Amino acid sequence: MGKDTRSARLFERASKVMPGGVNSPVRAFKAVGGTPRFVTRGKGAYIEDEDGRRYLDYVMSWGPLIHGHAPKGLLTALRKAATRGTSFGAPTRLEVEMAETVRSLLPSMELVRFTSSGTEAAMSVLRVARAATGRDAVVKFAGCYHGHADGFLVEAGSGATALGVPTSPGVPAALAAMTLTARYNDLASVEAVVAAQPGGVAAILVEPIAGNMGVVPPVPGFLDGLRDLCDRTGALLVFDEVISGFRASRGGAQHLLDVRPDLTCLGKIIGGGLPVGAYGGRQDLMRLVAPDGPVYQAGTLSGNPLAMTAGLWALGALSDKLYEKLERLGSRLAEGLADAAHRAGCDISINRVGSLLTVFFTDRPVLDYDDAKLADTAAYGRFFQSMLTQGIYLPPSQFEGWFLSGAHSTGDIDVTIKAARKAFRKSRP
């Protein structure tokens, strides 16, 4: 894209007033090159940029838009809600209805507390786990990302991987030392980490379907093994379902994979495209949260009426028919991409769970963070740029998931596969 485009000029202006010209690092296109597109509108499966270019979107706001951009029912609900007020700092019926809806879909969340982001939810759930167990150390997995709170920026995935900053400066060494790291899909590594901690660990925090080193599903027995380990050692099992919640299934990954965590973090789809997060779990644990208990957590905009309205609409519109469609489209896309890469002589590995997938530019299966890091990021960058030129908007990082929505069609998938045939050829050096 030339420097005389509106997006390029906006990026130049933005770079003078915001770090890197963006409000979230992956948006800057540093991992794929070129200039980020400044989006003006979205409808269905498509977005349009400041220069009037239209793109078939596989980012979908990084997952929340399971029904597509700007569905009519959502807009109607938000307009009605906005006329009544946008924020009160006081309880509303919407919060109650939303909490009841979440609990009905994820029974493990006996009590729910809403926040304004997934980062806030993960930070808060960790405080609950430490208070409940009286232990400080927690276990996370290399390549899993749980937001940007200090204790989680240890071998984090996603944008940190793409930018080559797996552990952020500014995190105190003493705090980082309380975060123990194991290998995803390697139960023996978790056993070893826990056994080496004489005082025990407060929690094992895991994405039940990893989405921040790229999509990496759990191998059979891995999550069951974590559940057993927690039961034996007194640690709490925490599922970060900010990505997988309501995308893997109406009951999240925990329903799909039949493993019940003690605590869960949610985000994305429960806000229907508006900023939101939530955490919850066993009643005895969540009763520790103020004002019921001593674990303090608060938020001025938590339970915001517009976010609750959007979330209620988004969850209410989930259906078996939608998930069947997403599975069908996801399968068609993955198979078509694999065939296109083979024809182009390009080595890739595709991981997919329903409507969520990642194309890794590597010839080996990707089961953990080390496998993901072997992917050829330069090849992905060339692939990304070719797809973008052809009107296909993909995640601007090798280490992210592609998201499908109910607004995507079979025709959209076929257009994407056709574009990929050319892009895979261009991805080769």
Query: Which residues belong to the active site?
Result: 145, 240, 268
Beta bridge partners of 50: none
Strands 263-267 and 236-240, sheet pairing? parallel
- At 9, give phi and psi (nearest 5°): -70, -40
Beta bridge partners of 276: none
Distances (CA, A) of 355 to 6, 130, 328, 340, 348: 32, 34, 9, 19, 19
Rounded Cα distance between 46 and 38, Å, is: 14
Rounded Cα distance between 382 and 207, Å, is: 29
Rounded Cα distance between 306 and 403, Å, is: 24
Strands 179-182 and 402-403, sheet pairing? unpaired
Contacts of 255 (CB under 8 A, 6+ apart): 106, 248, 249
Amino acid in position 276 = V
DSSP, residue by residue, 30-78: TTT-S-PPPEEEEEBTEEEETTS-EEEES-GGGTT-TT-BS-HHHHHHH
Degrees to nearest 5, angle at CA 275 with 303 and 156: 120
Cα-Cα-Cα-Cα torsion 58, 64, 66, 70, nearest 10 degrees, comes to: -90
3-state secondary structure of 245: strand
Q: Which two tokens stand for residue 147?
A: 């937001």
Contact 176, 151 (CB under 8 A): yes
Alpha helices in 85-176 (DSSP H): 93-105, 118-133, 159-162, 173-176
